[in-house]
Amino acid sequence: MSQKIEYAIQDRYPEDFSWCYGCGRLNKDGHQFRTGWDGDQTATYYQPESAHTAIPGFVYGGIIASLIDCHGTGSASLALHRKNGFEPEDTELPPRFVTASLAVKYVKPTPEQKQLKAVGTIEEIHPKKFKVIVEVFAEGELCATGEVVAVVMPASFGAK
């Protein structure tokens, strides 16, 4: 059964920062990943498209890496927002993060035609820097693990 995030942090990103090919709600050509709380962890669900193949039957690793990337920055945003006293249900603008580094281990080939779930475990390593450990499951089967280091978007990016 397909699952969905009800309150996604990306729904609260300012319009100018909602064009990300991975998670921008305004980028109609992109993946539109949506990340929310799942208890003390975070979750992003995604159904890859048929074109997103590696070899027939399996999902392309770059899509997995993209999912982990935006799940990481979204999770960091959720965490700092909660620390500041807000939830994605609130209309308050959350802090935006960028990816400093991304690492992915492909545990096993990711089967196509299954909904993927990225699960994040968040660790604050500095008030403006978070590490997110990510596990990617295809209907319960662990297919990839990852680690994202995300930092608050520098003012030079025009962050609001």
Q: Is 155 in the site for its own copies (CB under 8 A)?
A: no
Q: Is 54 in the site for its own copies (CB under 8 A)?
A: yes
Per-position b or e across 125-154, b if 16+ CB within 10 A of its CB: eeeebbbbbbbbbbeeeebbebbbbbbbbe
Q: Is 21 in the site for its own copies (CB under 8 A)?
A: yes
Find the part of the chain contacting its own copies (CB under 8 A) among 45-53, 75-83, 86-94, 126-134. Answer: 45-53
Q: Is 45 in the site for its own copies (CB under 8 A)?
A: no
Residues numbered 114 to 143 that lie near its own copies (CB under 8 A) are none
Rule CB under 8 A: which residues touch its own copies?
16-17, 19-22, 24, 27, 29-30, 51-56, 58, 60-63, 65-66, 69-70, 98-106, 109, 153, 157-158
